[in-house]
Amino acid sequence: MQQFIHNGLSLSYIDQCQNVDGDPVLLIHGFASNHAVNWLNTLWVKTLLHAGRRVIVFDNRGHGQSDKPHEIEAYHTARMAEDAAALLEHLNIKKADVMGYSMGARITAFLAASRPDLVRSAVFGGLGIHLVDGVGLPLGIAEAMEAPGLADVTHPMGRMFRMFAESTKSDLNALAACIRGSRQTLEANQLAQIQCPVLVCVGTNDTVAGDPHALAAAMPNAKAVDITGRDHNLAVGDKIYKQAVLEFLDNQESPFNDNH
């Protein structure tokens, strides 16, 4: 991985392409995950490379090989969206398609709202109307991260995320700060101002994300796709999701031309 510095933090990323003229797509992973778990292991990077895309993936602050502050205020969603914008600017990419999953979708939404100049289109995976009326994962997950050991965690979802975090050798204190700090929502008027095309993809068995159709209806140029039979964790690598995203990206009307 390569590194760049933004606001005093070292952030790690990978920039790959098989076609030097491939349209860039930036992928933003979810909470307690990293670029490899979310995008490499699920074959998303391979899929997009084979589709002729330039693929940029990175580890969010607090995750993977990026720096891991322990201060709650470091994880405001707007700050994490600024990291994504800074990476595109570091790579001299003037505009990109951006896809995020779960927390990464929340970051993508904040990026699309605050930096429309950088986002040609956006994909919100694993996040529906809870972008507006909910804050995502429960705070009990932070307490699970801070528990002395897994045996001390009784909260079912907290236990699942603690096991996941331990399997990826994550910084548990950084993740606790992240879950507490990244609980912002977007107002309806902010959603209405996202003019770029948006695709909202959520598993039909997802109990975390909220209704994708309600979220899509709140934006002027958005549509929703149901990922049949998948829950929050399993939807990310699903073939229905991938096919919908590939078709969505192929159907963008505005070419990049010389903008990347």
| Confidence at residue 255, expressed as pLDDT on a 0 to 100 scale | 52
Give the tens place of pLDDT for each residue, 116-156.
Answer: 999 999 999 999 999 999 777 888 999 999 999 999 999 88
- Average pLDDT score over residue span 180-207: 95
| pLDDT attached to residue 43 | 98
What's the predicted TM-score (pTM) here? 0.95
Q: Can you give the chain as a three-state secondary structure string?
A: CEEEEECCEEEEEEEEECCCCCCEEEEECCCCCCHHHHHHCCCHHHHHHHCCCEEEEECCCCCCCCCCCCCHHHHCHHHHHHHHHHHHHHCCCCCEEEEEECHHHHHHHHHHHHCCCCEEEEEEECCCCHHHHCCCCCCHHHHHHHCCCHHHCCCHHHHHHHHHHHHCCCCHHHHHHHHHHCCCCCCHHHHHCCCCCEEEEEECCCCCCCCHHHHHHCCCCEEEEEECCCCCCCHHHCHHHHHHHHHHHHCCCCCCCCCC
What percent of the chain is predicted at pLDDT more than 70? 97
Instruction: Provide, rounded to the nearest whole percent, the portion of the chain with pLDDT above 90.
Output: 87
**What domains lie within the chain, and their CATH numbers?**
2-133+187-250 (3.40.50.1820)
Q: Over the chain, what is the mean pLDDT?
A: 94
Average pLDDT over residues 7-34: 94
Judged against a pLDDT cut of 50, whether residue 258 lies above it is answered with no
Q: What is the pLDDT of residue 254?
A: 53
Render pLDDT for 60-95 as a digit per residue (tens, 0 to 9): 999 999 999 999 999 999 999 999 999 999 999 999
